């Protein structure tokens, strides 16, 4: 069986989908990946192809070139299943294979991105939605959604029966073990993720700034993540540095050791506007930390209100500040909620569950063939 992954960003594939590829190898699949670049280090058993794919490009010639290159890769690999990840990859793959019913198409929607947010209605968004309607009508692909809200959006675009709800990309429960919080000099609030307005970074900094000075002196907000200039919601490094405050709002850039970063934390906060199902939050839950997030799609699925954390309205930095203060001032509550986070994670979001569901889907498609 030959399995081809198509993804915008090779680093995203490695961080979010590599375990599925490795499981496929163990089950005698031949595995291939088409992406924007080759991995920095070789991954045994997986063949990588580079093709020109840019997340933010909507130019006709640029995307036509991507389509031609991808078509050559598909012809070379001759896959049985093509598993496309993120919206741009899904569109290109399905246009490439729109009349091909022999190759099974699995479209993994890991979040709806900036084109689908109501504040950014545009010609580009209309074109993308029109293409999805065409793809769903002619191509009959199979979808994986991470939350019900994204599914509902795609039902408007013609998705009716061919889908599964698989909650996130999973976190290895053996690698990310529960860690009892260490006593820190200050309460350590952590944000991990790309530095984007849509991740709620600006609201989080505001929420920390308005905490009364007496309480704020006990707190440090540590921000981990990279600048993403390709995303229209980006925050530049210059803009971010203007917002940093010595001793209580600190940006560390990207981290290659998130597990230990989370182990040293007391509270995890992701005030995002929309997610698929955020892996960063699942990692914090696995370590055993209370979560403060929003009631946005994807985010809301990670928190049972007042059980393992709190949810606030999108962009409501005052409510965000209030919930953070509750946890800052109450160490027993942080520990209690953190333990509940671990329980919820083990019941719903482990890597084993995600891999099992994904291969049950592959098997069902192969049987249909």
Classify burial at 98, counting beta carbons within 10 Å of its beta carbon; exposed 0-12, middle 13-18, buried 19 or more. Answer: middle
Q: Are both 269 and 339 inside the same structural domain?
A: yes
Do 166 and 197 lie in a common domain? no
Kindly give the confidence (pLDDT) of every residue in the chain, 369 residues in length, as a single tens digit, with 9 standing for 90 and above: 999 999 999 999 999 999 999 999 999 999 999 999 999 999 999 999 999 997 666 667 888 999 999 999 999 999 999 999 988 899 999 999 998 989 999 999 987 766 665 455 567 778 888 888 999 988 889 999 999 999 998 999 989 889 999 999 999 999 999 999 988 889 999 999 999 999 999 999 999 999 999 999 999 999 999 999 988 889 999 999 999 998 899 999 999 899 999 999 999 999 999 998 999 999 999 999 999 999 999 999 999 999 999 999 999 999 999 999 999 999 999 999 999 999 999 999 999 999 999 999 999 998 765
pLDDT at 54 (0 to 100): 77
Quick one: pLDDT at residue 354? 96
Please tell me the distance from the alpha carbon of residue 35 to that of residue 259, in angstroms, as a whole number. Answer: 26
Q: Do 90 and 234 fall within a single domain?
A: no
User: 134 and 8 in one domain?
Assistant: yes
**pLDDT for the residue numbered 332:** 97
Q: Residue 262: its pLDDT value, please?
A: 97
CATH, residue 159:
3.40.50.2000
Q: Is residue 127 part of a domain?
A: yes
Domain count, the chain: 2
Q: In what order do the strands lie in the sheet with 249-251?
A: 249-251, 219-224, 187-192, 267-270, 291-294, 309-312
362 and 281 housed in the same domain: no
Q: Are residues 195 and 126 in the same domain?
A: no
Do 32 and 21 lie in one domain? The reply is yes
**Is 182 part of any domain?**
no
Q: Domain range spanning residue 53?
A: 2-170+350-368
The verdict on 144 and 249 lying in the same domain is no
Same domain? 206 vs 338 = yes
201 and 165 housed in the same domain: no
């Amino acid at each position: 069986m030959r399995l081809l992954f198509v993804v915008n960003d090779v680093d995203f594939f490695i961080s979010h989908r590599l375990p599925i590829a490795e499981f496929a190898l163990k089950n005698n699949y031949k595995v291939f990946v088409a992406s924007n670049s080759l991995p920095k280090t070789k991954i045994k058993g997986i063949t990588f192809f580079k093709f020109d794919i840019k997340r933010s490009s909507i130019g006709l010639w640029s995307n036509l070139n991507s389509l031609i290159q991808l078509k050559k890769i598909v012809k070379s690999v001759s896959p049985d299943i093509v598993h496309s990840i993120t919206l741009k990859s899904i569109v290109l793959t399905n246009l490439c294979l729109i009349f091909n019913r022999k190759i099974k198409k699995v479209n993994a929607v890991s979040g709806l991105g900036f084109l689908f947010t109501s504040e950014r209605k545009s010609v580009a968004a209309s074109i993308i939605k029109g293409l999805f309607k065409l793809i769903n009508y002619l191509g009959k692909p199979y979808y994986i959604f991470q939350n019900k809200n994204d599914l509902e959006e795609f039902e408007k675009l013609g998705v009716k029966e061919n889908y599964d709800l698989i909650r996130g990309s999973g976190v290895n429960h053996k690698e990310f073990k529960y860690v009892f919080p260490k006593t820190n000099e200050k309460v350590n609030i952590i944000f991990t993720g790309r530095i984007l307005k849509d991740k709620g970074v600006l609201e989080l900094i505001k929420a920390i700034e308005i905490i009364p000075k007496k309480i704020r002196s006990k707190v440090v907000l540590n921000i981990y993540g990279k600048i993403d200039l390709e995303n229209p919601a980006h925050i530049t490094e210059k803009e971010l540095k203007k917002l940093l405050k010595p001793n209580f709002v600190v940006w560390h850039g990207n981290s290659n050791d998130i597990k230990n970063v989370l182990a040293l934390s007391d509270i995890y906060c992701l005030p995002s506007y929309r997610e698929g199902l955020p892996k960063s939050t699942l990692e914090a839950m696995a370590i055993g930390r209370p979560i403060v997030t929003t009631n946005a799609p994807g985010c809301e699925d990670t928190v049972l209100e007042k059980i393992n954390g709190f949810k606030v309205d999108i962009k409501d930095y005052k409510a965000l500040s209030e919930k953070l203060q509750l946890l800052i001032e109450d160490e027993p509550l942080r520990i209690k909620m953190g333990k509940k986070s671990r329980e919820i994670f083990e019941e719903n979001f482990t890597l084993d569950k995600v891999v099992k569901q994904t291969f049950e889907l592959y098997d069902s498609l192969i049987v249909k063939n």
